[in-house]
A and B are shown apart, each in its own frame.
Chain A
Amino acid sequence: MHSGPSKTAEAIVAVFIPPACREEALGDLHERYISPGQYGLDASRTIPLVIVSRIRRTADPQVLLMQALAWYASFLGAAWLNDRAFLSEPWGLPRLAIPAAMAMLGLTLEDAYAKPGPRSPLDLARGPLLGVGLALASQGMFRIGNPTLAVPTWIMLYGCAIGLLLSCAVRMLFPPATDRLQGAKVPADWLKQSGGPPGSPEAGMRAVQGVAAVVVTLLLILLIAYQVWQTAKKG
């Protein structure tokens, strides 16, 4: 008689596998089952790579860069509006990057774990909302563990609100790869290239947007590096 993993073990493993590849990955792990220990080890070795592969398929580097810029600019703008002195504090600018990075993590994971197929505009807001949740949770943990790394509450709240709006707007303009219908036998990589063939006006516009995002990001990095250098010089 063929033995398999317990329903509980399979349910736990299923939670971590993105829905788009859950069926085949769970089936393969079931087929390879020898003992509970081997199943756990096999799953723990396989799942991280399955998640990485799914992220690679769903993430568009240009859009991710735009999103990162939108989130960081939101927190920067919120600090500028609420507490300008915070920007000149030691590690002020790098601290603003922490909630932005957490929001990006939320967005990326939401896209990787989204069910394939078209999504409504309301569904598109799930990623930014998860990002806001992770950003706020990380700040809560910093307040308990290391308050020097925490960002002031009002900056966080304003930043999250602006970031949510900007991020949703970017997602509506550039929908995630999971939202585009995939025809039978059409490679996903080609479908991801919504900008049209090289040399077309759409591809040109997308390239200009990408370059602009990179230039602004580089300027921000230079600004942060300058502040870190100034802080180190004073110390």
Chain B
Amino acid sequence: MPIDFISDLPYNVGQMAKLDSLGQFEQLVLTAILSLREDAYGVTIHSKVQELARPKAVSLGAVYVTLDRVEDKGLVASWMSDPTPERGGRAKRCYRLEALGERALQESAVTAKRIWEVIAEVWGKEWAKE
């Protein structure tokens, strides 16, 4: 029997291969995790997302909601780090991109690049540099 037809498994292989397109905020959060590498946790991800989304203000709560959602989709994985004194002796929840997340981000980047090329062609390279 193929592995994806065994209902006792917690998830099936068919679902693993499914790739949803990312929303804009999800793209920002995944890009932040990608750029922060080993140091991706709530506060740093929020700062990076705020930097990427400027001048728009981004709340920490919105970042948490998106992190939970992308984790549920299997795009990122999380784990708890050791407690640190600057956090009042509390642990961080660190994040890293999973293979599915990297693929999803790659697809989004390719689409964004195509949009960018068309805009640059129509509005001119000078506008694109601004």
Q: How many residues of B contact A (CB 8 A)?
A: 37
Please state if B91 and A28 are interface contacts (CB–CB under 8 Å). Answer: no
The answer to whether A53 touches B5, judged by C-beta atoms less than 8 angstroms apart, is no
Chain B positions within 8 Å of A47 at CB level: 61
Chain B nearest CB: distance from A107 CB in Å? 20
CA distance A35 to B69 in the complex (A): 31
Contact across chains for B61 and A45 when beta carbons are under 8 A apart: yes
Q: Which of A32, A52, A56, A185 contacts B60 (CB 8 A)?
A: A32
Q: Is the CB of B85 within 8 A of A2?
A: yes
Report if B12 contacts A (CB, 8 A): yes
A200 to B12, CA, bound (A): 12
User: Is B121 an interface residue, CB under 8 A from the partner?
Assistant: no
Q: Indicate if B15 sits at the interface (CB-CB under 8 A).
A: yes
Residues on A with beta carbons closer than 8 Å to the beta carbon of B10? 183, 186, 190-191
The 8 Å CB contact of B64, one of A25, A183, A198, is A25
User: B residues within 8 A CB of A49?
Assistant: 59, 61-62, 64-65
Q: Which residues 52-69 of B have a CB within 8 angstroms of A?
A: 59-62, 64-65, 68-69
* Chain A positions 15 through 51: 1 when the CB is less than 8 Å from some CB of chain B, otherwise 0: 0000001011111111110000000001001111110
Contact B90 A48 (CB under 8 A): no
Q: Which residues of A contact B68 (CB under 8 A)?
A: 53-54, 56-57
In the complex formed, the residue of B with least CB distance to A26 is: B90
Per the bound structure, the CA–CA distance linking A20 and B83 in Å amounts to 16
Of all chain B residues, the one with the shortest Cβ separation from A193 is B11
B43 & A23 in contact (Cβ 8 Å cutoff): no
Closest to B76 in A: A187
Evaluate contact between A53 and B65: CB separation under 8 angstroms: yes
Please state if A187 and B80 are interface contacts (CB–CB under 8 Å).
no
CA distance A196 to B68 in the complex (A): 22
Q: CA A188 – CA B72 in complex, angstroms?
A: 5
Which residues on the A side are within 8 Å of B38 (C-beta)? none
Residues of chain A within 8 A (CB-CB) of B15 are 190, 197
Given A28-B60, A45-B59, A53-B68, do A200 and B87 touch, yes or no (CB 8 Å)?
no
Is A10's beta carbon under 8 Å from chain B? yes
CB-based contact B43/A32 at 8 Å: yes
How many A-B residue pairs have C-beta atoms within 8 angstroms? Tell me: 108
Indicate if the CB atoms of A24 and B11 lie closer than 8 Å: no
What class of interface size applies to chain A in its complex with B?
Answer: 35 or more
Which chain B residues border A27 with CB–CB below 8 Å? 42, 83-84, 87-88, 90-92
Query: Chain A contacts of B85 at CB under 8 A?
Result: 2
With a 10 A CB-CB cut-off, give which of A23, A27, A188 has the most chain B CB atoms: A27
Question: A198's closest neighbor in chain B, by CB?
Answer: B14
Task: List A138-167 residues whose CB lies under 8 Å from chain B.
Answer: none
Chain A nearest CB from B50 CB (Å) reads 12
- Once bound together, how far apart are the Cα atoms of A27 and B14, in whole Å? 37
- The reply to whether the CB of B51 lies closer than 8 angstroms to some CB of chain A is no
Is the beta-carbon distance between A30 and B60 smaller than 8 angstroms?
no
**In the complex the two chains form, is B72's CB within 8 Å of A30's CB?**
no
Question: Complex Cα distance A31/B7, Å?
Answer: 44
- Quote the shortest CB–CB distance from B87 to chain A (angstroms): 4
B48 at the A/B interface (Cβ < 8 Å)?
no
> CA A25 – CA B80 in complex, angstroms?
12
5 A-B pairs with CB atoms under 8 Å apart are A23-B90, A27-B42, A28-B60, A49-B65, A185-B98
Q: Which residues of A contact B (CB under 8 A)?
A: 2, 4-5, 10, 21, 23-32, 42, 45-50, 52-54, 56-57, 183, 185-191, 193, 196-198, 200, 202
